[in-house]
Structure 1
Amino acid sequence: MEANMEMRTPPKSKTASAGLLRTDRSGGSPLAGLLLHAVLITGAVLMTGPFIWMILSSLKQFHQIFLIPPQWIPDPWEWGNYKRSWEALPFGRAYFNSAYIAVISVIGKLLTCSMAAYAFAKIRFPLREPIFVLFLATMMVPGQVTIIPLYLMMKSIGWIDTHLAILVPEILFSAFGVFMLRQFMKSIPDELAEAAVVDGANRWTIYWRVILPLVRPALAALGIFTFLGLWNNFFGPLIFLNTPEKFTVPLLLNMFRGMYITDWTLMMAGSSIAVVPVLIVYLFGQRYIIEGVTLTGIKG
């Protein structure tokens, strides 16, 4: 009888078992979840605080900037700061300079980095791995260390106070870009290239028509990183450019600093204008950044 009763005992439903599994896997208490959200919200506020302060300060009068206690809400709202900031300096020209430098650098860098990454990932040649390790080791050298030799090189070929001094080094040398794309390309099966060879494809055809379409997420991520870095680049233009008509946006904003006083309201307004393209690129490209970096890390 006891054996029969045990056999007749209805088994637990699959739904209940799944619920228990979900409970066990989720783990933690509601209090831990609340604490986690509190920490994340606090971090978000701390990171967005300076940006919000910049926007609000761009709409204040000059004497309201350094009030103690701080006055967050402008009173009155000085919308004319944006017009005065735009007209005080040649922002239109600076926008054009930054835009075309960033776009040309992105196109050139994606081309050179993808070609080098393809060679390191798919072409066997003598000393490939040692050369790649040495190439990768250059990422450990700070840019401040190489800026003087680079300046002397640019001066010897007459590129000081030209945009070529910013464009050419950025396009021709990027260890991070090559490493990122190489890791992604190594995950692509060699059988695809071998099949293309059977069909009569050469190296260039394999690179252009087989490899590049498969690494679009990594290319998009690298392109966005390059655009954001060049748009915000201050150090390079400061070293190589001397003529205001050739200045980029970050370098032009520095001209609001005077010898004895800085017009912070106009600088904040100019900074708010300068950050618009960066926000647009990031908002539309964040999916590609996450996808490209994630897939590169997983497949490398």
Structure 2
Amino acid sequence: MTPTRVLKYASLLLASAVVIVPLLAIILTSLRTPGEMTTDPSPLSPPANWFNWENFQTAFTEGHMLQALGNTTFILFFSLLGTVFIGSMTAYAVDRFHFRGKKLVMTLFLVAALVPGVTTQVATYQVVNELGVMNTHWAPVLLYMGTDIVSIYIFLQFIRSIPISLDEAARMDGARSLTVYWRIILPLLRPAIATVVIVKGVAIYNDFYIPFLYMPSEDLGTISTALFRFKGPFGAHWEVISAGAALVILPSLVVFLALQRFIYNGFAAGATK
């Protein structure tokens, strides 16, 4: 076996371990009891009882996972709805219209994506507070709705593959720009919309920082912040947190496995069209 092939397989094994080992640690820890965690805190130690589901029950009930799932669903729906419309309209305007500062607009989007988010958090917090949406569902919705450059790029690549002759034919029939967008462009963007919804939906579902900072009330907890209930000033119930993390991972894992072909096809089509 050549050194190149050895290096290739070694890198693949290392990358697989980086992903699998934390998941294995979560599963093993979630099946252990508090006593086992005290005597042997190693996250990779096997449990004495492989059918110990008490931690899952505790995480589901005391973590108010159903309420958190409802809050997360609300935020996901409106955030993704805004992302799709804002992103697709932006890409439509950039590709189909000619105006001064067109390149400047795309450059500013790129610059905004390169600026570390932590450097603007003080100003962002003040803006959200002034809008009066602090500690409500709408605070994270407004922040997530700001379309990122990746979503615009995906929409832009698909719109460029749509013949301009369709726009011209519609305009000859008296259609205006908004009608062309709604009746022609948007229906043809379904693969791109599926890709953006899946990619950004998973990011929103897993985000902890924004819900924790802008929705401090316990009854507004999301899937990601609900687990923080089991972290106290004198320690953490890691067995319960691990069980809750397994419950949180399961829905996103199922959705990803079911819809992964849309992600790969969307990126591949957007790159080649």
Matched residue, 2:26: 54
Indicate the residue corresponding to 2:84 in structure 1. Answer: 110
Where 1:74 maps in the other structure, the secondary structure is coil
Partner SS for 1:275:
helix
Question: Which residue identity is paired with 1:74?
Answer: P
Q: Tell me the equivalent position of 2:212.
A: 238
Gaps of 5+ in 2: none
TM-superposed deviation, 1:172: 4.0
Question: 1 CA distance for matches of 2:254 and 2:43?
Answer: 30
Mapping 1:85-124, distance limit 5 Å: 85-124=59-98
Aligned match for 2:36, one of 64, 74, 95: 64
- For residues 25-82 of structure 1, give each alpha carbon's deviation from its aligned partner in whole angstroms, at most 9, with x where no partner exists: xxxx799667745643443233111112201210111243472776543112321111
Quote the RMSD (CA, aligned, Å).
Answer: 2.2
Separation (CA, whole Å) in 1 of partners of 2:166 and 2:73: 37
Query: TM-score, length-normalised on structure 1?
Result: 0.82
One of 160, 163, 173 as aligned partner of 1:189: 163
More displaced, 154-163 or 109-118?
154-163
| Alignment correspondent of 1:218 | 192
In the alignment, what sits opposite 2:228? 254
2:249 corresponding residue in structure 1 = 275
| Segment of structure 1 superposing worse, 137-146 or 164-173 | 164-173
Scaled by the length of structure 2, the TM-score of the pair is 0.90
Q: Distance in 1 between matches of 2:66 and 2:134?
A: 23
Same amino acid, percent of matched pairs = 30
Does the C-alpha gap of structure 1 residues 31 and 173 become closer, same or farther in structure 2, counting only changes over 3 Å? closer
In 2, Cα distance between equivalents of 1:209 and 1:150: 36
Is the Cα–Cα contact under 8 Å of residues 26 and 43 in structure 2 kept in the other structure?
Answer: no
Equivalenced residue count is 271
- The CA distance in 2 between the partners of 1:191 and 1:129, in whole Å, is 24
Q: How far has the Cα of 1:207 moved from its partner?
A: 1.3
Deviates more, 1:185-194 or 1:109-118: 185-194
* Structure label with greater radius of gyration: 1
Give 1:74's match in structure 2, choosing from 37, 47, 61: 47
2: distance between equivalents of 1:198 and 1:34?
Answer: 62
Are the aligned partners of 2:82 and 2:145 in contact in 1 as well (CA < 8 Å)? Answer: yes
C-alpha displacement at 1:103, in angstroms? 1.8
CA distance in 2, matches of 1:280, 1:87: 22
> 1:181-219 CA deviation, whole Å, 9 max, x = no partner?
113312322222222223333212221222223322221
Letter in 1 for 2:16: A
Secondary structure of 2:135's aligned partner: coil
Supply the AA of the counterpart residue of 1:260: F
Aligned to 1:264: 238
Residue 86 of structure 1, CA deviation: 1.5
Residue ranges of structure 1 left out of the alignment (5+ in a row): 1-28
Q: Which moved more, 1:32-41 or 1:260-269?
A: 32-41
Q: Would you say the 8 A contact 1:196–1:206 is kept in 2?
A: yes
The 1:56–1:240 alpha-carbon spacing in structure 2 relative to 1, beyond 3 Å, is: same
1:146 positional shift: 1.5
